[in-house]
Structure 1
């Protein structure tokens, strides 16, 4: 499972990366340059461990650069001072110093003997005085308006005993190429590290924050345009924005579901209106025809008038039942069925129901059989009127689709543990197996078992299912086309412990 990282955590990590990563990487790069480039400095100038000194104190570094030459000249001044006045020897030494941005100046008794560098009157005029010591070195610096130079002075006496001074002049304005290279490479590495770090952070922030926000924007545009047929990709690793995307996707799915339900309801309502128009048209046409027969004198005998009136009455009852069914459907659709639950004795209640049903079936030449296998003291909690509606709807459907000369309906009440099970079996035309999964759907009419010729709104069994489920029960059916159908529903028994638990 992916870890969720909050925006606050991401900002803290970004801050640490901005601060510490460039510092650490730059330090590593500088150490690498120190080992590679500064070793070249040590090798070029013949010094040991002068690398960092070149970066931290250029003046001291350049002073050390000419150290060996100065020591050689100092030794010569003690052993053979006359060589320090030899032009060839001084030229040779001066060529070595040129590689180190230095040159020689020699003065004797105040007169210039050798000048291996540029003609700079300021430097020549302001060179330190000759010391009274036989041989001494004195390191000092001289700064004019344009140049900064490092001067190393060596005092000596020539073979005639005259006082003389030798000066090694080093320009501190020139940084040796290796040091400049190190500094430039270090600066370039620092800029590259900063750019790389910034690019990595931009990519990370873009992918973790900007990308989900862009997906949200596109999703919002789709919803604004009425398009709900898409899926917003969500990721728990996106933190708060991921949670927002998840909530947005749930909202989109809910909107889509509501839109689909609206379309379905509108379609069902159109089917309902069509069914109502057809189911009302048939009895109204009959009522109108028989009423016209009476008015026109077609029913010219008391017997015919009585037959016409009874037919009109029966058709009016059919319309009344249809209107009541539609009224109940509207209450079911808004979950406002007025239930009046009460304790019901199973044996007494179903005996009364069967007795009432039997009279109607007998008039239609349909045999009714009834079996009760439940103890006489078994009770259920139910709404008597609504359970009676369930039984009447099921039996009414059986009667409607009877196609046998010798028709029958069997009602059985069985004890199945904590429930009572009611079975209503008929030998009607049955239901095709492909239609069985849909018989409890609203407005569904199977071609074979529930067509428009038999009437009905197509909501009777959906009402039955709703009532049974609201009683905490379950309803199902088995059928074989041509042989008949059996409806089953179960309702939980009432037990005394239920009252005890409520107290």
Structure 2
């Protein structure tokens, strides 16, 4: 009896979730065509009349919308995939270092710095069976405790959704799904009300 009642209670949630995924997939595909036309028209206007701040603004908004659509499609595909395909072993330390190197110029331009500590393995080292990665950053207006709500889709701490802060509230959702597909867990928390920490364990 309990099993039947539980199944009946959960069924509407499952149905709503499936409809949400279907809507995101359909909407993403429907938006791509008009967005491509707008982009082409914008390019033609620039060729005929020269560049302007309005054309540059259009390009920025088109790029932003295209990025959001791509992220929505990625998230939906990850949801639909039941298991990992073509999984293979990787050198986590090398991958981590090469990824971080790409952010060095941006950090330097903003007057920021970061420290990286990652063990570089050798051929003699045994394969890792457990991987843990943490990244932290000092931030204002934090409270000590869990911030796992950041992984909810479309959630942002900036309630005003100021476009200057960037992001759509999708990236961390994608990260969580990827980690879960690998049998891992990702958490967000502030240990002291001063730092935000993201910790990934596989």
Query: Above 0.5 in TM-score?
Result: yes
Matched, 1:358 2:104: yes
The residue aligned with 2:115 is 370
Which residues in structure 2 correspond to 1:364-403 (within 5 Å)? 365=110, 367-377=112-122
Distance 1:257 1:468 in 2: 25
Q: How does 1:13-162 map to 2 (within 5 A)?
A: none
What are structure 2's unaligned runs of at least 5 residues? none
- Closer, same or farther: CA 488–367 of 1 in aligned 2, 3 Å: same
- State how many pairs are aligned: 191
Determine which structure has more spread, i.e. the larger CA radius of gyration: 1
Q: Residue 451 of structure 1: which of 145, 161, 165 is its match? A: 161
Conserved in 2, the CA contact under 8 Å of 1:346 and 1:379?
no
1:256 maps to 2:19? no
Instruction: Sort the Cα spacing of 1:436 and 1:339 in 2 relative to 1 into closer, same or farther, 3 A.
Output: same
Higher relative CO (CA 8 A, sep ≥ 6), structure 1 or 2?
2
Cα deviation for residue 320 of structure 1 reads 3.6
Q: Aligned-residue CA RMSD in angstroms? A: 4.4
Please, which of 461, 467, 484 is the counterpart of residue 172 of structure 2?
A: 461
**TM-score, normalised with respect to structure 2:** 0.66
The answer to whether the Cα contact below 8 Å between 1:345 and 1:379 also exists between their aligned partners in 2 is no
- Asked if 1:472 corresponds to 2:177, the answer is no
Distance 2:167 2:60 in 1: 15
Q: 1:487 maps to what in 2?
A: 198
Query: For residues 437 and 338 of structure 1, do their structure 2 counterparts lie closer, same or farther at Cα, with a shift above 3 Å needed?
Result: closer
Assess, with a 3 A threshold, how the Cα gap between structure 1 residues 336 and 323 changes in structure 2: closer, same or farther. farther
| Structure 1 runs not aligned, ≥5 long | 1-245, 300-304, 382-417, 492-503
1:421/1:490 contact within 8 Å kept: yes
1:149 matched residue in structure 2:
none
1:126-154 deviations in Å (ceiling 9; x for gaps): xxxxxxxxxxxxxxxxxxxxxxxxxxxxx
Secondary structure of the corresponding residue to residue 466 of structure 1:
helix
* 2:87 equivalent in structure 1: 341
Would the alpha carbon gap of residues 437 and 354 (structure 1) be closer, same or farther in structure 2, given more than 3 Å must change?
closer
Matched-pair contact (CA < 8 Å) for 2:21–2:76: no
Rounded Cα–Cα distance in structure 1 between residues aligned with 2:145 and 2:39: 37
